[in-house]
Every structure is written in structure tokens, then in C-alpha cells.
Amino acid sequence: MRLKVLVLLLACACGLAGALVASAGDQGAAQQTPLRETAARPSLSPQTVQRIIDRYRRATWHWERVMGRPVTLSLRRPPRQAMQRIRTWKRVATYVHWLASRPPHLYAWNCIHRYEGAWTDSGYPYYGGLQMDIGFQQRYGSYLLRNKGTADRWTPLEQMWVAERAYRAGRGFYPWPNTARACGLL
């Protein structure tokens, strides 16, 4: 029995020594070869590249439409390499979302929302956190109404931008007369 254990330990020790020698040889080879050459970048198929770019474009276009800005159909000088095009569209989408996340009257819309209702309020005839009726939604948020339904299905940011579009059209805060007065906006 002891002889079997001793043989087993000797075999393990020899295997461990062999593994250490092999790894030492591998480390020497790795030190001679730069890391960039050993780690090849996976190439993306043209369909995958286009799918990624299309996702960033759709996100950009969505927020540009919500804000009432002209849609960026293409880049002025698109990069030739696929990864550069992806990075450029990602940068554009990130910037447009950053702009959209800061509506000009954010404080005012949050104050009005505090007195109006929940962002998901679906009580007829007024919907959403800013209590917009269907006519208001059709006039200032037709893109969202067509694609997402009534304002109770929109994000709070989308609801604020629709209200901002009404504000910019000359309506000001008058569609919310009582709550705007309570917030000191009228």
C-alpha cells in the first residue's frame, strides 16, 4: 500500500516538474513575442458592423425627433474603417442622448409633475406625469404617439420634451395654469 502511494506521489511530482518546465518555456516564448501579435482582434462581418451602426443611428434619430431637431442622416466625413464608423456613431448617439437628458426647463417640468400625477398615469382624458390630453399629444408628440401610444407609455424625459415643444411653440406653461402658478412659473 505504501509503495503504491509513493509511486503515485513520485508520478505527481514528475508531472508537476514537467508542467513547470513547459510553462517556463512558454513564458520565455511569450516574452519574446509582443502581446499585440499573439492576441488577434476578432473581425466583424459587414452585416454585424451595419447592424451595430444601425442601432446607434436609430437611438440618435429617436432622440433628435423627440427634441424636434433635424435628423442626422449621415456623417459628414465617414471613416473608412468599420470600427471607426462604429465608434463615431456611438459618440454621436451618446452626445445626442446627453443633450436630450437635459431639457431646458427640467426644474419646471419636475415641479409641474409633482402636482399633476404619476409618469405612468393612464386616466382618461389626461395621460402621463404632465397630464397631456390626446389633442396635445397629437400636436406636439405625434412621433411618440404613433410609435409608443399615449403619454403614459413614454419615458419621463420624452414627456418633458413634448411639453418643451409646446413651450417653444408659444404656449409657455399655460396648459398647466394651476400647477404652473403653484410652481411660480406664471
**Tens of pLDDT, residues 83-134:** 999 999 999 999 999 999 999 999 999 999 999 989 999 988 999 999 999 9
Predicted confidence band at 44 (pLDDT cuts at 50, 70, 90)? confident
Are residues 90 and 113 both part of a single domain? Answer: no
Nine cell digits for residue 39 = 492576441
Domain count across the chain: 2
What is the pLDDT, as a whole number, of residue 119? 95
Are residues 79 and 118 both part of a single domain? Answer: no
Predicted confidence band at 5 (pLDDT cuts at 50, 70, 90)? very low
160, 68 in Cβ contact below 8 A? no
Q: What are 166-186's pLDDT values in tens digits?
A: 999 999 999 999 999 999 998
Q: Is residue 30 part of a domain?
A: no
Are residues 93 and 119 both part of a single domain? Answer: no
Are residues 93 and 111 both part of a single domain? Answer: no
Spatial distance between the Cα atoms of 72 and 89, rounded to a whole number of angstroms: 10
Q: Is the per-residue pLDDT at 37 higher than 60? A: no
49, 79 in Cβ contact below 8 A? no
- Closest by CA to 89, choosing from 48, 53, 65, 46, is 53
Q: Please name the amino acid found at residue 38.
A: T
DSSP state, 70? P
Q: Is residue 112 part of a domain?
A: yes
- Coil, strand or helix: which one is 174? coil
For the chain, the C-alpha Rg in angstroms (whole number) is: 30
Q: Which domain holds residue 65?
A: 46-100
164, 149 in Cβ contact below 8 A? no
Q: Is the per-residue pLDDT at 36 higher than 60? A: no
For position 124, which CATH number holds? 1.10.530.10
Spatial distance between the Cα atoms of 99 and 126, rounded to a whole number of angstroms: 28
107, 168 in Cβ contact below 8 A? no
Q: What are 137-171's pLDDT values in tens digits?
A: 999 999 999 999 999 999 999 999 999 999 999 99
Are residues 82 and 119 both part of a single domain? Answer: no
